[in-house]
Amino acid sequence: MHPLLASRARLGAYLLGWVPIALLLAGIARSQGWSWAEAGTLAPPLCLLAAFLFLSAWFLCRALPLGRRVETLGSHGAAWGLAAVLMGGIWAGLAWLLARALAWIPGLGALPRRVDIALPVLTGLGILLYLASVALSYLMLAQDRAVEAERRGAELQLLAQESELKALRAQLNPHFLFNSLNSLSALTAVDPARAREMCVLLSDFLRRSLGLGERRLVPLREELDLARAYLAIEQIRFGARLTLDWRIDPAADPALLPTLLLQPLVENAIKHGIAALPEGGTLVVAAEAAEGHVTLRVENPADLDVPTPQGLGLGLRQVRQRLLGRFGNRARFEAGVQNGIHRVTLVFPLETEP
């Protein structure tokens, strides 16, 4: 189907564009001595015929796509010219028939004779109008191709994003297991009873992490539950060296975020913060909802004697990529050390399950 016929808005704009052409045609007729009645009666229906007759230019243009080679343009030009002469002649013939169909109306008896005299002018005008329709058709085809290319680009970008997220999750899941098994191994020789307790907690943690890993988005409360399960294991390992400070706004609980986004932040805080300090420290996990956004923050003490690393580690880079991949410029990621505290802050829109 012709794109102009498939859209009422496009068709309306196209027909509206023929109004000034009808006025121009009537003005030319008046300049040749036609009466206002003759010019005003013939011009509108003749232009309406042209509007629909010259829609055929789109099918020709679709069959002859524009290329960059001069030879292609030359061969196309011959087809355009031949079609323009043919359609201009047909339009002039329709004017001839229309004039005779209207001749019975009082005051229009001379209309057939006037059209006979104007046939060469009408044919030439029809050729020009058809060529203008050819140009319009190529513009519409170019616009449709651009829209289609943009749609395909968006689909490819979405597929690439999904593949990247799957790859990131595949890298993260083994990381959880290795850290947890290392903690269990360190405790087995020191306190077997607590090691058994840790095995139960580890089982619960793995069950939760595997369940979440199958989903693309989860509520923040489930991410927090997983973090609590992991930190319960680490508290057995670190004992009094690890203090937890949960500052969770209940309004933030249903907020959706990419699966396993919080877990790497908590692991990073333990591995590079609490574990590196002989006296340990307090791990702060805070979430607040305000003005349609959620602010998620993870804080841990940092060893001031260790040089601040340049850039982000692998875990933080993955978190940043996944956050921005889901929310784009609606989200914000910040990480850095200030006054001996390493702080990671995520800000993202408060979206919930329907």
* CATH number, domain containing residue 326: 3.30.565.10
Whether residue 253 sits in one domain with residue 140: no
- Domain-embedded: residue 158: no
Task: Choose among 322, 222, 312: nearest CA to 272.
Answer: 312
Residue 141 shares a structural domain with residue 26 = yes
Q: Are 128 and 246 in the same domain?
A: no
Among residues 96, 125, 153, the one where a domain terminates is: 153
Q: Are residues 212 and 311 in the same domain?
A: yes
Number of domains in the chain: 2
Same domain for 146 and 195, yes or no, is: no
Would residue 183 count as lying in a domain?
no
Which residue among 101, 128, 153 closes a domain? 153
Q: In this structure, how many other beta carbons lie within 10 angstroms of the beta carbon of residue 288? A: 15
pTM exceeding 0.75: no
Q: Characterize 1-37 residue by residue with b for buried, 16 or more Cβ atoms within 10 angstroms of its Cβ, and e for exposed.
A: ebbbeeeeeebeebeeebeebbeebbebbeeeebeee
Kindly state whether residues 195 and 333 are assigned to the same domain: yes
What pLDDT sits at residue 300? 94
Residue 63 forms part of a structural domain: yes
3-state secondary structure 72-136: HHHHHHHHHHHHHHHHHHHHHHHHHHHHHHHCCCCCCCCHHHHHHHHHHHHHHHHHHHHHHHHHH
Claim to verify: residue 233 and residue 141 sit in the same structural domain:
no
185 within some domain: no
What pLDDT score was predicted for residue 165?
A: 56
Query: Looking at residue 163, what is its pLDDT?
Result: 64
* d(C-alpha 76, C-alpha 93), whole Å: 26
The pLDDT, as a whole number, for residue 158 is: 66
**Is residue 184 in a domain?**
no
Answer yes or no: is 298 within a domain. yes
Domain hosting 120: range is 3-153
pLDDT digits (tens, 9 = 90+) for 106-155: 888 888 998 998 899 899 999 999 999 988 888 888 888 888 888 887 77
**177 falls within a domain:** no
Q: Is residue 104 part of a domain?
A: yes
Q: What is the pLDDT of residue 141?
A: 87
Residues of the chain with confidence (pLDDT) below 50: none
- Structural domain ending residue among the three candidates 153, 182, 205: 153
pLDDT for 302 equals 87
